[in-house]
């Protein structure tokens, strides 16, 4: 039997798919992505570290910059504050107190631009915070300061204005006390309106200022009115303002002052009355003296017709003359009927009167009264005065009433005090019989020289100036006045005994000792027979020796 | 605003964002590579599905041939033994044919199951690739966003110095 063989494929023949490829791809893909993720995380980490480093370094840098700016800013702020304070003080010092916009203008034009500059400097947060804090502080400071200063300024303005108003109303009340009530109302209303309308006077300050000003202003006006009322009528005025109505304006002390014022006004009134009375007397006296002068001019004119026009009847009827003057003038008319007195006696009297006139604290009126008595004395009687010497004496006393006459008399008196000894005789040798005519001659000569100088347009004081060529104390002139011993003897021999005045004549003061003649103010005590330098107070005996003080 | 901690924070933030942007780009690259690998894996799964189909067909043909050879042997044996092709002989042959058909059917079904498994795997890889690509795109966006953010922070740092 044929053996037919066939090919049989293996039983497990077939394709077997393999998952490894796709699994490998998927796994590798995941792994790669994970690695990229790691790389990315590394990048992130670098970023975080860089950021952290930048943070650390940057923070330090910023802190340093802030510190620098704050240090610099503090100094700048202090300087700015000082400058602003100075500018504000200068502004407010020169500001018009009545201008309420001073602070506003300062803030807009000076403060804000300066603060803006100050706050704009720093670039760091800390520096800016510091600057802003400083700016805010400065703003607050200047708000408070300017408000305070403006309030003060407004207060000053209000006070000044009210002071002016008060002065005006006080003056009105002083001259017219009836205006008091109106003035008080006006002041109260004005102060209220002035303070209320001021934008810088608010709250308690405004209310306080209102009260203070009203009280002080009204008190001042009330006091002025009180003084005015007291001046017009001391008793009624004092009574009115002592009442309770004005007690809130007038304190106890002030009331005492008003009482004093009332007494003063009363006293002033009396003084005024007395003064007016005295002035009337003086006026009458002066008129009398002037009229006396007119009579004397006519009597002594040398023209018998003029002299004849003066009658005692007219004098008695002339009420311009005082009673004493009338009596004197009658005496003068009567004296004209008698012979003229002896010139030697008159010279002695004249010299004595001149000595009286030159005494310290001499009363010219008393000396003039003596001159009148001397003129009215009988001729030949010791102490009588001739018409010429009487007129000269009157002229002397009248001249003393002018500053020029006083000055000239001072020089003249000084001259005769110094040179009287040389003219009338040495120390201890003065004799009224011999000395007075010489002194008299010198006195008359001096007046003649003064008159000559006046005629030449020169100063009459030159006669008493040792540097002047017209000086009266030159030896030649003195020798002429002193005369010679022979002429003195002749004079004594021809002098009638009755005409010689007694040595004890009170007017006959001894000549000063030779050593004391340079003393300007020298007085003599007859009872102690001592001389006294009135300037130094030193005392001297009759020989000029110092004996103490 | 001024030069301060805020400024420094802005600068450091900007630097950090720049680095983060790079990190996002790196991640995006990794995700794209992963996506590409998923694509490749999907391709291989498709191929495996086809391989499975081919392999199943081969196995079906072999089963057919085995069945024919078995039944042919049985007929030859029956005929050689002098049995008629009836009765028990036919039962045997019928049973063989039935078993063969069952085996073939099971093999065919198994092939289909394997093929379907590869197809599903392929789709899964495709989807994973898409997801990875989408994630890469998102990382790209994040990189751009980080750059923009860094730029803003840098600008803020500069502005903080010059604007008050």
Task: Find chain B residues with C-beta within 8 A of A48's C-beta.
Answer: 16, 19
Task: Find chain A residues with C-beta within 8 A of B118's C-beta.
Answer: 17
Token pair belonging to A481? 């006045």
Helix (H) or strand (E) holding A531: strand A530-533
- Cα–Cα nearest to A226, from A188, A267, A256: A256
Taking only Cα atoms into account, the Rg of chain B, rounded to an integer number of angstroms, comes to 35
Task: Find chain A residues with C-beta within 8 A of B13's C-beta.
Answer: 51
CB contact A26 to B (< 8 Å): yes
Residue with tokens 């790196």: B26
CA atoms within 13 A on the CB side of B94: 7
Residue of A18, A23, A25, A39 for testing the chain B interface, max B β-carbons within 10 Å? A25
Nearest CA in chain A to B34: A29
Residues 81-120 on B with a CB inside 8 Å of A are 114, 118
Min distance B161 CA to chain A CA atoms (Å): 7
A523 beta partners: A532
B3 beta partners: A124
What is the spatial distance between Cα A292 and Cα A279, in angstroms, rounded to a whole number?
A: 19
What is the spatial distance between Cα A435 and Cα A219, in angstroms, rounded to a whole number?
A: 76
Residue of B1, B11, B27 for testing the chain A interface, max A β-carbons within 10 Å? B27
Q: Is B33's CB within 8 Å of A32's CB?
A: yes
CB contact A12 to B (< 8 Å): no
More confident site: A382 or B25: B25
Nearest to B12 among A8, A23, A54 (CB): A54
Residue of B6, B12, B47, B126 for testing the chain A interface, max A β-carbons within 10 Å? B12
What is the spatial distance between Cα B108 and Cα B60, in angstroms, rounded to a whole number?
A: 7
CB contact A383 to B (< 8 Å): no
What is the spatial distance between Cα B131 and Cα B154, in angstroms, rounded to a whole number?
A: 34
pLDDT of residue A500: 45
Share of chain B above pLDDT 70, in %: 98
Q: Residue B57: is it exposed, middle or buried by C-beta count within 10 angstroms (0-12/13-18/19+)?
A: middle
- Ranges of residues in chain A with a pLDDT under 50 are 497-506
Q: Is B59's CB within 8 Å of A34's CB?
A: no
Q: Is A13's CB within 8 Å of B59's CB?
A: yes
Q: Is A125's CB within 8 Å of B161's CB?
A: no
B140-161: pLDDT as tens digits: 999 999 999 999 999 988 888 7
Helix (H, G, I), strand (E, B) or coil at A124: strand
CB contact A34 to B (< 8 Å): yes
Task: Find chain B residues with C-beta within 8 A of A32's C-beta.
Answer: 30, 33-34, 37
Nearest CA in chain B to A31: B34
pLDDT of residue B32: 93
Helix (H, G, I), strand (E, B) or coil at B3: strand
CB contact B49 to A (< 8 Å): yes
What is the spatial distance between Cα A461 and Cα A411, in angstroms, rounded to a whole number?
A: 7
0.80 exceeded by pTM? no
pLDDT of residue A204: 82
> What does DSSP assign to residue A548?
E
What is the spatial distance between Cα A403 and Cα A410, in angstroms, rounded to a whole number?
A: 11
Q: Is B164's CB within 8 Å of A120's CB?
A: yes
Query: Angle at Cα A224 formed by Cα A220 and Cα A229, nearest 5°?
Result: 145
Q: Residue A473: is it exposed, middle or buried by C-beta count within 10 angstroms (0-12/13-18/19+)?
A: middle
Nearest to B3 among A15, A39, A123 (CB): A123
In order, the DSSP letters of B79-135 are HHHT--SSTHHHHHHHHHHHHHHHHHHHHHHHHHHHHHHHHHHHHHHHHHHHHHHHH
Q: What's the longest Cα–Cα distance across chain B?
A: 119
What is the spatial distance between Cα A396 and Cα A416, in angstroms, rounded to a whole number?
A: 15
B29-75: pLDDT as tens digits: 999 999 999 999 999 999 999 999 998 898 888 888 888 888 888 88
Min distance A101 CA to chain B CA atoms (Å): 32
Task: Find chain A residues with C-beta within 8 A of B37's C-beta.
Answer: 25-26, 28-29, 32
What is the spatial distance between Cα B118 and Cα B52, in angstroms, rounded to a whole number?
A: 9
pLDDT of residue A508: 53
pLDDT of residue B43: 93
pLDDT of residue A148: 85
Residue of B9, B13, B16 for testing the chain A interface, max A β-carbons within 10 Å? B16
Token pair belonging to A33? 């992505």
- Cα–Cα nearest to A253, from A219, A297, A228: A219
What is the spatial distance between Cα A365 and Cα B92, in angstroms, rounded to a whole number?
A: 206
Q: What's the longest Cα–Cα distance across chain A?
A: 247
Helix (H, G, I), strand (E, B) or coil at B16: helix
Is residue B56 within 8 Å of residue B107, measured between CB atoms? yes
Nearest to A128 among B16, B65, B164 (CB): B164
A532: number of Cβ within 10 Å: 19
CB contact B138 to A (< 8 Å): no
What is the spatial distance between Cα A191 and Cα A203, in angstroms, rounded to a whole number?
A: 15
Helix (H, G, I), strand (E, B) or coil at A161: helix
Token pair belonging to A539? 């005392």
Nearest to A33 among B4, B18, B30 (CB): B30
Q: Residue A380: is it exposed, middle or buried by C-beta count within 10 angstroms (0-12/13-18/19+)?
A: middle
Task: Find chain B residues with C-beta within 8 A of A120's C-beta.
Answer: 164
Between chain A and chain B, the number of residue pairs with CB atoms below 8 A apart is 162
What is the spatial distance between Cα B104 and Cα B112, in angstroms, rounded to a whole number?
A: 12
3-state helix, strand, coil in chain A (%, to 5): 70, 5, 25
């Amino acid at each position: 039997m044929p053996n037919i063989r066939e090919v049989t494929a293996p039983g497990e023949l077939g394709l077997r798919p393999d998952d490894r490829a796709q699994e490998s791809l998927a796994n590798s893909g995941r792994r790669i992505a994970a690695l990229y993720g790691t790389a990315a995380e590394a990048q992130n980490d670098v970023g975080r570290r860089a950021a952290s480093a930048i943070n650390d370094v940057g923070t330090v840098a910023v802190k340093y910059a802030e510190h620098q700016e704050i240090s610099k800013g503090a100094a700048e702020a202090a300087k700015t504050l000082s400058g602003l304070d100075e500018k504000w003080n200068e502004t407010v010092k020169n500001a018009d107190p009545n201008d309420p916009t001073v602070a506003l203008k300062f803030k807009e034009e000076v403060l804000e631009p300066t603060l803006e500059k100050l706050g704009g400097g720093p670039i760091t947060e800390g520096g800016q915070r510091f600057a802003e804090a400083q700016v805010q502080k400065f703003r607050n400071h200047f708000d408070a300061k300017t408000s305070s200063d403006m309030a003060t300024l407004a207060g000053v303005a209000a006070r000044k204005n009210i002071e002016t108003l008060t002065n005006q109303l006080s003056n009105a009340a002083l001259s017219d006390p009836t205006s008091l009530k109106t003035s008080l109302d006006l002041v109260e209303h004005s102060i209220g309106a002035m303070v209320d309308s001021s934008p810088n006077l608010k709250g308690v300050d405004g209310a306080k200022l209102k009260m203070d000003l009203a009280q002080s202003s009204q008190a001042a006006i009330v006091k002025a009115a009180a003084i005015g009322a007291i001046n017009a009528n001391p008793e009624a005025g004092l009574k009115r303002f002592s009442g309770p109505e004005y007690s809130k304006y007038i304190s106890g002390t002030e009331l005492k002052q008003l009482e004093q014022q009332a007494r003063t006004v009363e006293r002033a009134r009396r003084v005024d009355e007395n003064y007016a009375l005295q002035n009337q007397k003086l006026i009458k006296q002066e008129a009398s003296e002037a009229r006396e002068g007119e009579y004397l001019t006519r009597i002594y004119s040398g023209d018998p017709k003029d002299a004849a026009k003066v009658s005692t009847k007219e004098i008695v009827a002339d009420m311009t003359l005082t009673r004493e003057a009338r009596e004197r003038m009658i005496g003068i008319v009567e004296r004209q009927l008698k012979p003229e007195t002896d010139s030697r006696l008159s010279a002695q009297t004249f010299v004595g009167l001149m000595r009286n006139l030159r005494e310290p604290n001499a009363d010219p009126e008393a000396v003039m009264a003596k001159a009148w008595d001397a003129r009215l004395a009988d001729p030949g009687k010791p102490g009588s005065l001739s018409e010429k010497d009487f007129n000269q004496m009157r002229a002397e006393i009248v001249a003393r009433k002018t500053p020029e006459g006083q000055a000239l008399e001072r020089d003249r008196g000084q001259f005769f005090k110094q040179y009287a000894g040389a003219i009338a005789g040495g120390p201890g040798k003065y004799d009224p019989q011999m000395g007075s005519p010489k002194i008299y001659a010198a006195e008359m000569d001096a007046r003649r020289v003064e008159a000559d100088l006046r005629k030449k347009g020169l100063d009459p004081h030159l006669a008493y100036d040792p540097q002047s060529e017209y000086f009266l104390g030159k030896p030649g002139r003195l020798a002429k006045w002193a005369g010679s011993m022979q002429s003195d003897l002749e004079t004594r021999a021809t002098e009638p005994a009755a005409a010689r005045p007694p040595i004890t004549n009170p007017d006959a003061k001894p000549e000063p000792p030779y050593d004391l003649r340079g003393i300007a103010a020298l007085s003599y005590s007859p009872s102690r027979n001592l001389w006294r330098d009135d300037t130094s107070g030193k005392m001297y005996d009759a020989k000029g020796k110092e004996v103490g003080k | 605003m001024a030069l301060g901690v805020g400024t420094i924070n802005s600068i450091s933030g900007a630097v950090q964002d720049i680095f983060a942007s790079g990190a996002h780009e790196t991640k995006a690259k990794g995700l794209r590579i992963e996506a590409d690998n998923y694509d490749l894996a999907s391709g291989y799964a498709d191929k495996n599905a086809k391989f499975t189909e081919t392999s199943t067909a081969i196995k079906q043909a072999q089963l057919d041939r085995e069945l024919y050879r078995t039944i042919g042997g049985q007929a030859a044996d029956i005929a050689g033994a002098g049995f008629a092709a009836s009765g028990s002989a036919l039962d045997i042959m019928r049973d063989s044919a039935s078993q063969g058909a069952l085996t073939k059917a099971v093999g065919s079904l198994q092939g289909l199951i394997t093929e379907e498994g590869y197809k599903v795997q392929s789709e899964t890889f495709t989807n994973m690739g898409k997801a990875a690509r989408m994630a890469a795109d998102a990382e790209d966006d994040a990189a751009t966003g980080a750059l923009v953010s860094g730029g803003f922070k840098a600008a803020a740092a500069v502005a903080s110095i010059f604007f008050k």
